[in-house]
Amino acid sequence: MQGIQRNSRWTRDPTRAPRKTAYLSAHDIAIFSALARYRYLPADYIHAFVGGNFKHVIHRLNVLSREPNLFLNRPPQQRANADANRRRLIYELDQRGVHLLQQHAGELVQRTRPPANFAHELMACQILASFDFGARERAVRLINWSDILTSESLPEQTRRSPKPCSIPVRFESATVTIAADGHPFGIARRDDRGSAYFFCPGIEADCGTEPIETSDFERSSIFKKFTLYLAAQEQGLHRTHFGFPNLYVPFVTTNAARLASMMRLLERITRGAGTRFILFKTFPAFTSFEKPLPPTGHMLTEDWQRVGYSPFNFLTS
């Protein structure tokens, strides 16, 4: 008996099922919306956002990414992982999916050219998605960038800026800008102690591709980022640039050894004092042989390490 032939997971050939054309549903639009918020997501992360039967979602992602539909794309860069043939496929919106959201669902999707570092962008998307999952799990409010842009607290100068996410920091008689990965966001929680708000300029996703220290301040490094965020905090730029009452900067790197090196550097820069607002956590690199983390809200619900202070938790601190 001839075996059942299957499509390669890396081609865009039509499915072998009799029905090849996708007739879009509200569930499909939810898939597109998740990928509009987070450019790259593995299949299990998409399922965590849209719900339903997992096998059906996997099948639907396959159909939506193949001819003649082509609403989704499977970025070829994911094949760089040695275990790519067995991992969950990673998806992004294709141009047809972008146009559909913009024309029929009224969602504005900003897409520039593909990021230079796929692994870095994927890591940032998964970290930010984890905050989203955590907010849903614990019924706290995630204040997104669109909320911030329409807030009366945001200074008008920032709102009109061509790069409102970039913070202009005064440093050694010059102005140097710094922008985190993703967009600024906030967490609003309410408990027995009352209401509390925590704001972040985005997150700093570190794949280990830039030096921790360098003698050239023009070059991107962890030292430069620490220095500029410390200066921004001292100058109160979270208030004057964003209208935020506070600022927390989450740094996420790929392993415990690099995390320890980063924390030692911050301790040295602050002369042993540390700081309350720079937070640390790990997340395995895309190219790692470690098992990928499942889609959970751990970035929001679990503790972050700090230098000179006790661990910080967005839900309990």
Give me the chain's average pLDDT, please: 93
Residue 7 has a pLDDT of 81
Short-list 37, 28, 210, CA closest to 125: 37
What average pLDDT does this structure show over 87-107? Answer: 89
Residue 1 has a pLDDT of 40
What average pLDDT does this structure show over 224-232? Answer: 97
What digits encode the pLDDT tens for the residues 187-196?
Answer: 999 988 889 9
Residue 105 has a pLDDT of 67
First to last CA, the chain: 63
Would the pTM of this model clear 0.85, i.e. be above it? yes
116 — pLDDT class (breaks 50, 70, 90): confident
Strand bridging mode 204-205 / 249-253:
parallel
Residue 17 has a pLDDT of 77
5 — pLDDT class (breaks 50, 70, 90): low
What average pLDDT does this structure show over 153-166? Answer: 96
Distance of alpha carbon 202 from alpha carbon 209, whole angstroms: 19
Distance of alpha carbon 69 from alpha carbon 63, whole angstroms: 7
Is residue 3's pLDDT more than 60? no
Residue 103 has a pLDDT of 84
Q: How far is CA 315 from CA 138, 182, 295, 296, 311, in A?
A: 9, 21, 19, 15, 12
